[in-house]
């Protein structure tokens, strides 16, 4: 098969990366997609760097074995832990990562703080520190680690009292002051945006990096002459390390949201 018409491989620690792949499908509907969620090992954000690196390499190998023409690491945590490593290991393959959309947040030019919600690992790693260096002198940026949020979403809990109480308790200290923008720096979190708006003022933009990452993916494929030439809608294959019926039906629910 012509490599152009091979699938684009997506990977996340679980179901979160579907929030990014949905945007890519919207932008490039004729491409084929293969998604691997490592729900068996989620959450990654509270694991050691070594563990996340090993799991990321396993996931990339799995996608390449299935002929992926490019890899999207649709996980902020795996990107911060392993993107340099995998780009070095798989030099021939276009590899696109994701990071908290701080650059986009400042473009809103709003008064008040910028709150970045992400996993403890994403907020601790060098990559994020470098990103912050560009902005923290001029903006009031608050890093808000939400270690348990991935677990809620992996269990299919994207609304309801328990989740709302958890989010309230996380955000309460910052609600007294003006919030400018909230950045969802974990690909699972866009699925709880609606619940977040029960807590945060409706005028506060709650943004994520899904669209930006998909545009970057398209740009990279174009540059390498790897965009599909098919003219009908592509196929989407979803794989998960936890092959349970519940996880598969959760994936179907989230991708159709």
Q: Is 76 annotated as a binding residue?
A: yes
- Who's near 198: CB < 8 A, 6+ residues apart? 164
Q: How open is the CA angle 75-102-56, to the nearest 5 degrees? A: 15
Give the Cβ contact number of residue 110 at 10 Å. 16
The residue within the footprint of ligand DGL, chosen from 122, 143, 213, 247 (CB under 6 A), is: 122
76 sits near ligand DGL (criterion: CB under 6 A) = yes
Q: How far is the CB of 251 from ligand DGL (least distance, A)?
A: 13
Give the Cβ contact number of residue 68 at 10 Å. 23
The residue within the footprint of ligand DGL, chosen from 143, 187, 195, 241 (CB under 6 A), is: 187
Site string for ligand DGL, 150-169 (x = CB under 6 A): x-------------------
Active site residue: 86, 186, 196, 226, which one? Answer: 186
Separation CA 23–CA 253 (nearest Å): 16
Catalytic residue list contains 251: no
Can you give the binding site for ligand DGL, defined by CB under 6 A?
12-14, 16, 42-45, 75-77, 119, 122, 150, 186-188
So which residues are the catalytic ones? Answer: 75, 186
Annotated binding residues for substrate, written as ranges, equal 12-13, 44-45, 76-77, 187-188
């Amino acid at each position: 098969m012509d490599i152009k018409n091979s699938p684009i491989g997506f990977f996340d620690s679980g179901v979160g990366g579907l929030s990014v792949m949905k945007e890519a499908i919207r932008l490039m509907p004729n491409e084929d997609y293969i998604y691997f969620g490592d729900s068996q090992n989620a959450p990654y954000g509270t694991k050691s760097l070594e563990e996340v690196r090993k799991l990321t390499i396993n996931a990339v190998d799995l996608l390449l074995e299935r002929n992926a023409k490019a890899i999207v690491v649709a996980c902020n945590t795996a990107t911060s832990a392993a993107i340099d490593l995998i780009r070095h290991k798989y030099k021939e393959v276009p590899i696109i990562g994701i990071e908290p959309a701080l650059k986009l947040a400042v473009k809103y030019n709003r008064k008040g703080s910028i709150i970045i919600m992400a996993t403890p690992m994403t907020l601790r790693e060098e990559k994020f520190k470098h990103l912050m260096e560009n902005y923290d002198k001029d903006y009031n940026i608050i890093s808000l680690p939400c270690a348990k949020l991935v677990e809620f979403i992996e269990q299919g809990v994207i609304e309801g009292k328990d989740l709302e109480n958890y989010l309230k308790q996380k955000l309460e200290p910052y609600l007294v002051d003006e919030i400018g923008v909230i950045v969802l720096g974990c690909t699972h979190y866009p699925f709880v945006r609606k619940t977040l708006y029960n807590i945060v003022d409706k005028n506060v933009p709650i943004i994520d990096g899904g669209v930006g990452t998909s545009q970057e993916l398209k740009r990279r494929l174009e540059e390498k002459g790897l965009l599909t030439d098919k003219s009908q809608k592509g196929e989407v294959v979803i794989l998960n390390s936890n092959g349970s019926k519940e996880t598969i039906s959760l994936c179907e629910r989230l991708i159709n949201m």
